[in-house]
Amino acid sequence: MLRDELLAIFERYDIHPRKRMSQSFLVDERVIEKEVDYAEVDGKEVLEIGPGVGFLTRALAERAGKVVAVEKDGRLARLLQDSMPESVEVIEADFLKYNVKKAEVIVSNVPYSISSPLLFKIAEMDFERAVLCFQEEFARRMVAKSGSSEYSRLSVMSQLSFEPRILQKVSRGCFFPVPRVDSALVLLKPKGKKVDELSGRLINFIFQHRNRTVRSALVSSSRNLGIEKRELMQLAEQLPFRERRVISLTLEEIMELVGKKELRGKL
């Protein structure tokens, strides 16, 4: 049982999970095996983010050509350096600050506290596929469609950058310590298109008011946009979908809106 092995590691190395780092370790061997299967890592170089004590790392190493494991917690990084095979390179670093541009495959049981920044960071990377374990609610928001209550900036940015698909639910009981919520394995296949910074900013601003009309959302974003409300009201008259609620806009409509030169030219 991996749970028993985990507890033995805690005792041997005097390690205790850190709540502030959202440390909860996947201890279900069947889920780990499925995660490796979904990632299709055979013979490839894998970037693993947050390997923890190395249960998933070990399974990846059995099939991958090489595993680069980036671990922020120095205690766990040293443990991994002592226990992993030669095909595993352990890097002690905060992934969010780590300089990496590409990978063949990315795999991670993502700490809940860094889900959004991690996702936005890998959106800037080049890779073939990623299998990531997120909080289930977060995963549902990633794949939500326009008009649904879960449709958000996260949905839009995820679906503009990737083809996200929920592979399976992972019960909270598969982790130790047991978290308060369930998780889900998500497959990401890059679309090969990057969302430019200005478009990303505009999407962020209007989705802060996602239940309002496009016109109202823009006017309410006056301070963030650095444009007077009166000028924004006049500008909105030139924009498509101005009477539609932000949450109702499809990806294509959103990109048409934020791509309008009348709007971009003011920023």
Residue ranges at the known binding site for S-adenosyl-L-methionine: 26, 50, 71, 94, 109
What residues form the annotated binding site? 26, 50, 71, 94, 109
Q: Which structure tokens are listed for 217?
A: 């959302």
Q: What angle do CA 9, 7, 182 make, to 5 degrees?
A: 120
Give 161-188 as a DSSP string.
HEEEEEEEEE-GGGEESPPSS-EEEEEE
Query: What are the CB-based long-range contacts (under 8 Å, 24+) for 9-13?
Result: 9/53, 9/79, 13/75, 13/79
Q: Which two tokens stand for residue 104?
A: 């063949």
Query: What residues contact residue 252 under an 8 Å CB cut-off, 6+ apart?
Result: none
Phi/psi for 106 (5° steps) reads -115, 135
Burial class (CB in 10 A: 0-12, 13-18, 19+), 235: buried
Size of the chain, expressed as the number of residues it contains: 267
Contact 210, 151 (CB under 8 A): yes
Whether the CB-CB separation of 223 and 259 falls below 8 Å is answered with no
Identify whether the C-beta of residue 237 lies closer than 8 Å to the C-beta of residue 260: no
On whether the CB atoms of residues 133 and 49 are closer than 8 A, the answer is: no
